[in-house]
Amino acid sequence: MDPLFDRDKAEDVLSSVAAAAPDYLAGLDARLVRDVASLPLLDGLDGPLPEDGHGAPDSVAELLRIGTAAATHSSGPRFFHFVVGGSTPAAMAGDWVTSLLDQVGGMWTASAFATTAETVTLRWLRDLFGLPPDWGGVLTPSATFANLTGLACARQWWGEQHGVDVAADGIAGLPRMPVIASGYVHASVRKALQILGYGRDTVQVLASDDAGRADLDGMRAALSSGPAVLVGCAGEVNAGDFDPLSDMADLAEAHGAWLHVDGAFGLFAALSPRTAHLVDGVARADSVAADGHKWLNVPYESGFAFVREPERLGTTFGSWNAPYLAPMDDTSIDYNCLGPESSRRARALPIWASLRAYGRTGHRAMVERHLDLAERLEFLVDQSPDLELLAPAQLCVVCFRYTAPNHDLDALNTALGKAILDDGRVYVGTTVYRGMIALRPAIVNWRTTEADIDLLVKVVRELGAQLALRPPR
Ligand SMILES: *Cc1c(COP(=O)(O)O)cnc(C)c1O
């Protein structure tokens, strides 16, 4: 069926999605995060490529039927696994508008609307995080891409130290760029380095303890042998701890190093006076990466990269010798020349909508509610004789494990993590923290309340007790 025959169906199919939304969203508070009983529905996705097609109304109805049941309801209030945000009403509607308008978001000539929204959004974000207004920036699909963006700029800078324009000539012939980090370094920083041609194992980890805390003396010594890239982590995923960014900024300044800060969710500590000290020094970095789809509660995919010297983005990602690209000036910015993507959606719209709808104080209130909830969880863990807190809750992550006498606690917590995911009332899996299997729920969803935290503790203790009753194998 030629899509042209469906032209007058747009209203029907879009209305069908809008009509399904209220029930789905209202149900998020009550339903299982993941209902294993719904998984057989996934078979409905399968089948041979249709020859003639079933038309839009039937196909969208099918997607809604399967999706509203079998999706992981991770945008609800009890998905605590990894660090996963939800989607505020304004952000979700902004995302729908993005699809409605279907803009070419990377080029001013193609959409002055999208590029202007991006420029304004980036300015608002710098303001929100207390980053200098004269920094450059670009929206990315994720913090992985934002880390890639910052580290690509670092690579360009590194090439300059050796008289090479990496954007034009590549890195062949250059020495390997030294990259120094604490044990908090996120896997996506390694992924960025593997894409950039240095390999994920190029990171020299200098840690002073088994949690991975930064070894500043070791970093100072490593930096004394010449230009290098220092990577700071604002908010690591196991316990929500922070690298000492101010000290690392001092080191970078003293040794002429490039400081990149990965603040995927931790950059949001800047929003509250209760936690802003954790990101002291971030404004002295050379590049900063963060996520929108985590603590900003904007739908996937959403991230942002900021760079101290705005022109670095253009030299790193621009000038692809494409004669149809117009020259940029202050307003007619082509964001496809400032980041790793070329054609891209109008990624700014959901962020713009959320920042406009809830403002500085609304986002601060959300962050502070999560800080309160993390404190509550920490308190409940402390009060429970069968739970052991493994690290103080610094921000929105609480790292703990279930304990029972005469049990291999790693085996017990591994089984517990699996049991929690299969149970589905709350969602949190395991990590390895200081050599121990641990749970590390992250609280960043705008819908989460005290009742959800209390249920989390109840489910962990209930399933833990059941597992502990089984004879150890
Ligand atoms: C989540 C996370 C990332 C990667 O973010 P994506 O959005 O998954 O690409 C990087 N660093 C830290 C600290 C994170 O928590």
Averaged pLDDT, 263-290: 98
188 lines ligand 1 (CB under 6 A): yes
Tell me how far the alpha carbon of residue 18 lies from the centroid of ligand 1, in angstroms.
Answer: 31
Residue of 20, 3, 120 lying closest to 61 (CA atoms): 20
Domains of the chain by range and CATH? Answer: 94-355 (3.40.640.10)
Higher pLDDT, 327 or 299: 299
pTM of the complete model: 0.97
C-alpha to C-alpha distance for 132 and 201, rounded to whole angstroms: 32
The ligand 1 atom at the shortest distance from the C-alpha of residue 291 is 7
Residue 473: predicted pLDDT:
53
Predicted local confidence at residue 321, as pLDDT: 66
* Number of Cβ atoms within 10 Å of the Cβ of 254: 11
Where does 384-449 have alpha helices with state H?
409-423
Residue 198 Cα distances to 7, 159, 176, 178, angstroms = 49, 13, 7, 9
Whether the per-residue pLDDT at 472 is higher than 60: the answer is no
Among 142, 195, 233, 260, residue to substitute to test ligand 1 (most atoms within 8 Å of Cβ): 142
**How far away, in angstroms, is 264 Cα from ligand 1 center?**
5
Q: Which pair of tokens denotes residue 387?
A: 């739970």
Helix (H) or strand (E) holding 287: strand 287-291
Residue 228 has pLDDT above 70, yes or no: yes
Which numbered atom of ligand 1 lies nearest the CA of 186?
A: 11
Tokens linked to 385: 């004789």
Which amino acid type is present at position 349?
A: L
What digits encode the pLDDT tens for the residues 123-165?
999 999 999 999 999 999 999 999 999 999 999 999 999 999 9
